[in-house]
Amino acid sequence: MRYVRPLMQVGPARPDGAIACGWCWFSHVEVLSRDAPPEILPVSAMSQDDMRRFEGPWGRPEVMGILNTTPDSFSDGGRHDTLAKAVAHGQSLTGDGADILDIGGESTRPGAAVVPVDEEIARTAPVIGAMRAAGHSGPISIDTRKAAVAQAALDAGASVVNDVSGFTFDPELAPLCAARGVPVCVMHAQGDPQTMQNDPRYDDVLLDVYDFLADRIAWLQEQGVPRNNIIADPGIGFGKTVDHNLALLNRLSLFHGLGVRVLLGASRKRFIGTLGRAPDAANRAPGSVAVALAAIAQGVQIIRAHDVAEHVQAIALWRAAVAHR
């Protein structure tokens, strides 16, 4: 099998024959395979089927604000673990410019244990209901692996389901999402949070993650979730070393070949602290923003972030500077 990665460029100087992808364009692709060296080819050498993968959807980059209602998340555990604190933080994220809120009640940090369903529902559904009651009308994502939690969240007003297990944890979750007609985010993770950082290994991390997501997207479609309701996340930090994360970030544009929106969730992750010499997760905003801008330059459509104001400002300035280059 061969894999086609668009070599994304940004800025207004688009040559004749280049393919436009929202704020990016490409005139060449990198063809990858498991048994041959990479090859750079012009888009004119590609088939229509190859090019059709990159037709969309596109729009301005969106920021998904993280609202953890957990006592033990790696970065902000315990800061928003009451209804009042969680709602206040959700409103703050929206005020800072978050396009989507992602509300989670189960930590997925390395070593985290499974949270009982009733407890996870109690941490999330009331917050979603209170946000809607307070007038929040934007998309709200429930970050969960469990169908019962997702159902309670959707009943309370959530409109997206984000599953870090790639819909492998609970067989009832995908049929629920299909029946409710909601967008879903399917993420790659090697192992579960308790074991995922215990010596993760891949034959080729980039192609292995791509194949996993392609298989899960096909399976979700079989369950009744339309492709235009699917978002893919390569799962930075979930069963991956620093080198694995960097390999994925270096060629993120490959994942546009899945034909769905791509989400990057790298905010405050451990590799940023390692490379940026920031052992305290709260001090990783600059590194998180840098990774986000590099991802947007490869056409990533959604950035999941703790520090929403910083990301929104950086993206606005980056786009303004690129547009006038």
- Strands (E) across 188-309 are located at 230-233, 261-264, 302-305
Q: Work out the number of other CB atoms within 10 angstroms of the CB of residue 42.
A: 12
Task: In whole angstroms, give the CA distance from residue 244 to residue 191.
Answer: 15
DSSP-derived 3-state class of residue 80: coil
**Considering 5, 269, 270, 284, which one is annotated as catalytic?**
269
Pick from 239, 138, 152: nearest CA to 197: 239
DSSP-derived 3-state class of residue 118: helix
Task: In whole angstroms, give the CA distance from residue 24 to residue 297.
Answer: 7
- Strands (E) across the chain are located at 2-6, 9-10, 19-21, 24-26, 28-33, 39-42, 62-68, 100-104, 140-143, 160-163, 184-187, 230-233, 261-264, 302-305
Residue type for position 103? I
Task: In whole angstroms, give the CA distance from residue 98 to residue 102.
Answer: 10
User: Residues with Cβ < 8 Å from 121, sequence gap 6 or more?
Assistant: 105, 148, 149, 152, 153
Based on the residue annotation, tell me whether 146 is a catalytic residue of this protein.
no
**Considering 240, 261, 284, 304, which one is annotated as catalytic?**
304
- Find the length of the chain: 325
Q: Using CB atoms within 10 Å of the CB of residue 94, give its burial: 0 to 12 exposed, 13 to 18 middle, 19+ buried.
A: buried
Residue type for position 200? P
Task: In whole angstroms, give the CA distance from residue 118 to residue 115.
Answer: 9
Based on the residue annotation, tell me whether 123 is a catalytic residue of this protein.
no
Estimate to the nearest angstrom the gap between the alpha carbon of 28 and the chain centroid: 25
Query: Which residues are known to be catalytic?
Result: 269, 304
